[in-house]
Amino acid sequence: MGRTNVKVRLLEHTPNPENVVAMAAKLCYSNANIGELLEKIESNDQSNFINGLVAMGHMSPIEHISFTFGIEGVSRAFLAQITRHRIASFSVKSQRYTKAIGDGTGTFAYILPPQIEALGEEAVKKYDEQMRTMQVWYNEWVEALGNKGESSNEDARFVLPNAAETKMIVTFNARELLHVFSYRLCNRAQWEFRAVADAMLDEVKKVAPIIFSYAGPHCVHGVCPEGKKSCGKQAEMKAKYGKKD
């Protein structure tokens, strides 16, 4: 298996997400019944209404729509990062019920950090050798613990590194996704999560372009919260993530 790269796929989402948001918002201020609202919303373009809704910060209607992603080629270090966003549902590949098995490369799947890769061929070779060593340790513990499947794997996995690859399915509502993007698209966010967030944003923009036209780090629509630690690239971030009219 050896080194692997991130893959993000939008698996499912609320059908007609922006119509659902418009209906939820308009219900708050209308005497019409739900059937009448639905007919009116489906027969008219809701772009201007949703733009106004998001611009004024009326965000609770956005919670009614959800997006489910398949994410693979990410590290256990990334798993610790993404699960800090608690308004989400996670299903994660188990290191207890599945065995970390190498193939022709002799190692489990793992992530190569770009800063290590940037050090050059010798550094990468050393890193790969360290992964192979940990595979050997893991295999030794599996055997020592009786090679009994989950009862052996659950303790042998303690010698596996944060670099070990994992896979997950995760579901967010749109409001929480905007929150995730505001922090994880920041230049100071962890590089792996930044790559995943970028890929997630590309996916959701295909199905809910109006809502996610407002997505981006804090500095795009306000003041950078990093203070003296700011990357100083607000203009570049606005150019990349700022709302396109």
Phi, psi angles (nearest 5°) of residue 165? -70, 145
> What confidence score (pLDDT) does residue 46 get?
87
Task: Say how far apart CA 163 and CA 176 lie, in whole Å.
Answer: 27
Taking 70 as the threshold, does the pLDDT of residue 28 lie above it? yes
Summarize pLDDT for 82-125 with one digit per residue, the tens. 999 989 999 999 999 999 987 556 799 999 999 999 999 999 99
Query: String of b and e for 180-189 (b: at least 16 CB within 10 Å)?
Result: bbbbbbbbeb
Q: What is the CA radius of gyration of the chain?
A: 22
Is 175 designated active site?
no
Residue positions counted in the chain = 245
CA neighbor of 47 nearest in space, from 22, 27, 64: 22
Give this prediction's pTM: 0.91
Looking at residue 46, its amino acid is: Q
Question: What percentage of the chain has pLDDT greater than the value 70?
Answer: 96
Name the H helices within the chain.
17-27, 34-42, 47-55, 76-82, 114-117, 121-144, 150-156, 174-184, 191-205, 218-221, 234-241
At 21, the pLDDT band (50, 70, 90 cuts) reads very high
Answer with the residue of higher pLDDT: 81 or 243: 81
Contacts of 129 (CB under 8 A, 6+ apart): none
3-state helix, strand, coil in the chain (%, to 5): 50, 15, 35
On the CB side of 87, how many CA atoms lie within 13 Å of its CA?
12
Which tokens is 214 given?
């407002």
Instruction: Compute the average pLDDT of residues 8-20.
Output: 96
Average pLDDT score, the chain: 92
**Residue of 84, 175, 184, 194 with catalytic role:** 184
> What confidence score (pLDDT) does residue 226 get?
86
